[in-house]
Amino acid sequence: MIANIVFQVIGGLGLFLYGMENMSGGMRKLAGSKLKKILAAFTTNPLMGILVGIFITVLVQSSSVSTVMTVGFVNASLLTMKQALGIILGANIGTTVTGWILILSIGAYGLPIIGVSVIVFMAAKSERLKNAALTLMGFGFIFFGLQTMSNGMKPLRELPGFVNLFYLFKADSYFGVVKAALVGAVLTGIVQSSAATLGITIMFANQGLIDFPTGAALVLGENIGTTVTALLASLNTNSNARRVALAHTIFNTFGTVWVTAIFPFYLKIIGRIADPAVSVERAIVMSHSLFNVFNVLLFAPFLGPYAAFLEKIIKGKSEAPVRVTKLNQLMLQVPSVVVSQTKLEIIEMGEKIQRVFIALDDVFHRKDNAEESLKLIADTERMLDLYEKEISDINFTMLNQELSSSMIRETRGNLITTDEFETISDYLDRIAKEVNKLRDDDLKLSEGNRNVLFTINGMVSGFFNEVFKAYDRKDVQLFVNAIREYDEMKFVYREAKIEHFSADHGDIPSRLSVGYIDMLNYYRRACDHIYNIIEHFAQI
């Protein structure tokens, strides 16, 4: 009997956790692409921030995901601390929806739900339908896992020693409430899923192993334990991100302290709304919801002073991280957010390259020195090296996750574009360095050579702009149309080389001649790397 209990409980818990992961993962894939826009657009005031926090947490069915993601956005300076505090409060309300899902009386339908969703998942062609099936599959595993655990727990009621163990944490006194809350906090901190420990609490109450007061006390602690995930995620972040993570912990800890102090009165309020004698599971879930609603109402009017208080606890400037992109490893919680932010970063790379072409125009067009333009080109190249590293680091990490085929294609396209953009900037920087070397050697290009380089720079710049526009708009036809400019560029390059080698250069130093040819070759190689982007997206 003991072996049967252990096998069913462990197996049921595994199915439940797997279901939570599938349900949350499916919901994130269905709604993830909109999350960043929602966060950025609707967190202008604390009330909207709270509503956004509720909405996003309901969408992804995980307060840990929404809080960790929020910490990541603060660390990347995409959100202010005050905006994030509103989202954190809303996330605590949003996570209570999971409890209401858990008490749906459809445990017997868990297996059929799994069966149907697996068939739909295998037969579906569209990514959206696959993600919907994955979400439904998660629901099935959740209910089947809960039912399996519940069936495994039933014989425990006949074991006096096991039942007496629960009496050690019975919430029949103030210290009993504190002990039960600590157990809930520790278990949730270990599992890092308040939904899992809430489900187990509901199951224990359903089997009569714990009473309603003990279940409500466990729930108080579970609200503290769920903050561990965000705290761990904030360890290597900036001061504002650490403040947001700490705010979440203080919020739930303070709520637990004041509710514990008035626990008997708190139970009476819940009992009037959801009578535990009628349904102890419903009463426990109601205690979870009311705790978070009461706490939000208490904190919401004081977000300004709360933010000031956090700044005093965690010292340090609210500086942006020393990074050139706003990408952050914490965004990996929602891969679609990484994809959309990566594209924004690549667009910034492209705009910087456009400014480099303009700077080169200035170098070749002006006869006097162009110190500022040459410095801008060198600084941009160094910065684009950092862009390439930061984009590659997080996107290659993301490719190790389970992604949809469309997201894999887009991620690979972004990585190829990033690499080519960085290489293009490298060749443009070599051109600028060649100009500097000639100047250091007190050598000047002839007016004719300057004009050729000026013309070629304009052509390559135009070619790059067309491909950049095609990438931005995801327009395959624009990629194809740009091939004509590539062919024209190759013709001009060949003509320039033939003209140079066939001309009588008289007393022109060989160093000047070699430098000129090197610059022509650098432009040609830059063109080849622009063309590589066309090859990938147009599938030539």
The string of pLDDT tens digits covering residues 53-100 is 888 787 776 777 778 778 877 877 777 788 888 888 988 998 888 888
Largest CA distance in the chain: 107
% of the chain exceeding 90 in pLDDT: 33
> Are 272 and 364 found together in one domain?
no
Q: Please state, in angstroms and rounded to a whole number, the distance separating the CA atoms of residues 177 and 205.
A: 16
- Domain of residue 436 covers 329-538
Residue 302 domain-assigned (yes or no):
yes
Same domain for 176 and 143, yes or no, is: yes
Please indicate, yes or no, if residue 320 is contained in any of the structural domains.
Answer: no
Q: What's the confidence (pLDDT) of residue 158?
A: 60
Residues 204 and 9: their CA atoms lie apart, in Å, by 12
Q: What is the pLDDT of residue 472?
A: 93
Q: Are residues 261 and 352 in the same domain?
A: no
Task: Answer with the residue of higher pLDDT: 172 or 146.
Answer: 172
Q: Using CA of residue 341, residue 345, residue 350, residue 351, what is the dihedral sign? A: positive
> What does the angle CA 143 – CA 51 – CA 185 come to, to the nearest 5 degrees?
50
Residue 52 lies in a domain: yes
Nearest to 387 by CA among 437, 428, 421, 436: 421
For residue range 385-403, list pLDDT tens digits in order. 999 999 999 999 999 888 8
Q: List, for residues 181-228, the tens digit of each pLDDT value.
A: 998 898 888 877 787 788 888 888 887 878 899 999 999 999 998 888
Lowest pLDDT segment from 37-41, 99-103, 141-145, 222-226: 37-41
Cα–Cα distance between 254 and 256 in angstroms, integer?
5
Residue 297 domain flag: yes
| Domain contains 42 | yes
Point out the domain boundary residue: 255, 289, 313. Answer: 313
520 or 20, greater pLDDT: 520
The pLDDT score that the predictor gives to residue 36 is 57
Q: Token pair of 143, please?
A: 């209910």
Does residue 324 fall inside a structural domain?
no
Give the Cα separation of 377 and 358 in Å (integer). 10
Q: Identify the DSSP state of 275.
A: -
In this structure, are 337 and 307 located in the same domain? no
Residues 122 and 253 in one domain: yes
Residue 526 has pLDDT above 80, yes or no: yes
Quick one: which of 217, 25, 34, 282 has its CA closest to 131? 25
- Compute the average pLDDT of residues 23-37: 64
* Whether residue 307 is found in the same domain as residue 347: no
Task: Point out the domain boundary residue: 261, 281, 313.
Answer: 313
Q: How confident is the model over 243-296, as pLDDT tens digits?
A: 889 999 999 999 999 999 999 999 999 999 999 988 999 999 999 999 999 999
Asked whether residue 37 is assigned to any structural domain, the reply reads: yes
Checking if the pLDDT of 488 tops 60, the result is yes
Q: Is 285 left (phi over 0), alpha (psi -120 to 50) or beta?
A: alpha
Are 254 and 344 in a shared domain?
no
pLDDT of residue 39: 58
319 lies in some domain = no
Burial class (CB in 10 A: 0-12, 13-18, 19+), 321: middle
Q: Which residue has the higher pLDDT, 539 or 265?
A: 265
Q: How confident is the model at residue 525 (pLDDT cuts 50, 70, 90)?
A: very high
Tell whether 334 and 449 lie within a shared domain: yes
User: Whole-angstrom Cα distance, residue 177 to residue 216?
Assistant: 9
Number of domains within the chain: 2
Same structural domain, 353 and 221: no
Of 264, 282, 313, which residue sits at a domain end?
313
CB 348 within 8 A of CB 368: no
List Cβ neighbours of 419 (8 Å cut-off, separation of 6 or more): 388, 392
CATH number at residue 386: 1.20.58.220
Query: 537 to each of 133, 342, 390, 409, how far by Cα in Å?
Result: 30, 17, 22, 10
What is the predicted pLDDT for the residue at 143?
81
Q: Quick one: 449 exposed, middle or buried, by C-beta within 10 A (0-12, 13-18, 19+)? A: buried
Task: Please give the pLDDT value at position 293.
Answer: 93
Which has more pLDDT, 503 or 326? 326
Looking at the structure, tell me whether residues 282 and 379 fall in a common domain.
Answer: no
- Answer whether residue 157 shows pLDDT above 60: no
Instruction: For residues 258 and 344, state if they share a domain.
Output: no
pLDDT at residue 150 tops 60 = yes
Q: Are residues 347 and 228 in the same domain?
A: no
Question: Can you give the pLDDT at residue 189?
Answer: 84
Which range has the worst mean pLDDT, 36-45, 63-72, 298-307, 376-385? Answer: 36-45
Q: Is the pLDDT of residue 1 over 90?
A: no
Question: For the chain, how many helices (H) and strands (E)?
Answer: 23, 0
